[in-house]
Structure 1
């Protein structure tokens, strides 16, 4: 009973439902976000082909898309498309963009811990690659980066693979997908695994060996996203990983 009015029972406050997409909502929106990313990337190639007066057919698109500068622009244009689609999905839920994606800056201890773990994983795969006589970097990526360096597109490629790609992929995988799936029946472990699988699928241009490496790194990123509650942490780790690979490949290339 209400102590101020004995005739009325005390009021109870029903907690508001969390403003987050659950399993299927996250899955559907995740697909739409990926499509938006893809359209942003393809749109850049189509624009370049149109600007040159090339016919907008499959052969022209493939020819333009193999050029280092064009590919760099394509990867870069996937970022605004991804952010726009994610913003729309979160806006519909009337949730905070920053809180939904955990865009909180991590502590230096968390950053250091995440970096050490990433280095150990990369070194382990590097050692395994050497023992198996495999390339540490996929051959087509090595050729692309060397070609870009020789054709004056090094800075564009560096930005595309070390800034735009990590942000796009992390916002989708460890940001939007992890947030929704971790609030579903999957809970945190399932969200880490499934979001890592999706992130791995995005890299299907690699063979199974490199896909296994991508998946293992994705698991670490997912754990750090959960541990630090910070998407910025995984964006930075992802960017550092790509930056190191791009710089070393260009620098070691003859």
Structure 2
């Protein structure tokens, strides 16, 4: 028998890692989103405390509207998000990198993702011009230009071009997509639902820009599936945000 022959050991198949399914992923998604919120609010609370003022809602709103403070808030949401995701994955006994598909994509995959992203953005840009709308949400335009004028350009660039893409992609195309794609939703449902969740994160925009965010999310979800790489969507997300930030702060009218 081959199983008793040392020259022909029996084949072993590595067990699939345990994955949170639909409800487990949804509930942990709420916990992760809450952790992101705690990290962001914690940064604002610290700034209020450091300035010696009363820690109340009015003070938090006032400081939270400052470009540098808002950027720090976005940045501090990243470590708390990663910690919550790590805990959820750890409880399943799975590898953090494998669970989130932290694999480097090929250049062809990155090129395809970037070209597709460019096409989606150009379509929405054309529609915006045809409708006489701004191509960038006014709230972001005001924030970025105010930050540039107040010397906060670098921290804003880091926050929105690196910290925000990592936090949001780890949650949406990382944790949520992984669990939901292995539930009854399968891949198409996971792409749609994770894109909806990602869109909800951007409720500061109006419905038009939310529709654009959703479409970009669908493309990111497809590339996450096609390349089986979260690093790819993180890079695409970072590229999209970096381009928007640079154009708005230095090249926009």
Q: What is the TM-score with the length of structure 1 in the denominator?
A: 0.94
Determine the structure 2 residue equivalent to 1:107: 106
1:158 to 2:146 alignment? no
**1:148 and 1:157 in contact (8 A); partners too:** yes
Of the structure 1 ranges 97-106 and 18-27, higher mean CA displacement relative to structure 2 is found in 18-27
Q: What do residues 129-174 of structure 1 show as CA deviations (whole Å, max 9, x unaligned)?
A: 0000000011111010001001100000000000000000000000
Determine the structure 1 residue equivalent to 2:7: none
Alignment of 1:14-25 (within 5 A): 16=15, 18-25=17-24
Tell me by how many angstroms 1:54 deviates: 1.4
Instruction: Give distance in 1, aligned partners of 2:183 and 2:244.
Output: 35
Instruction: Give distance in 1, aligned partners of 2:3 and 2:44.
Output: 70
Tell me by how many angstroms 1:253 deviates: 4.5
Determine the structure 2 residue equivalent to 1:146: 145
Please, what is the CA RMSD of the aligned residues? 1.7
Alignment of 1:26-45 (within 5 A): 26-45=25-44
Tell me by how many angstroms 1:17 deviates: 6.2
Determine the structure 2 residue equivalent to 1:80: 79
Instruction: Give distance in 2, aligned partners of 1:67 and 1:194.
Output: 33
Determine the structure 2 residue equivalent to 1:98: 97
Q: Which runs of no fewer than 5 residues in structure 2 stay unpaired?
A: 5-11
Tell me by how many angstroms 1:252 deviates: 2.5
Instruction: Give distance in 1, aligned partners of 2:73 and 2:16.
Output: 39
Q: Secondary structure at the match of 2:183?
A: coil
Q: What is the TM-score with the length of structure 2 in the denominator?
A: 0.94
**2:17 and 2:93 in contact (8 A); partners too:** no
1:169 to 2:176 alignment? no
Determine the structure 1 residue equivalent to 2:193: 194
Q: Which runs of no fewer than 5 residues in structure 1 stay unpaired?
A: 6-12
Determine the structure 2 residue equivalent to 1:61: 60
Number of residue pairs aligned between Structure 1 and Structure 2: 247
Q: Secondary structure at the match of 1:158?
A: helix
Per the alignment, do residues 135 and 19 of structure 1 end up closer, same or farther by CA in structure 2, a change over 3 Å counting? Answer: same
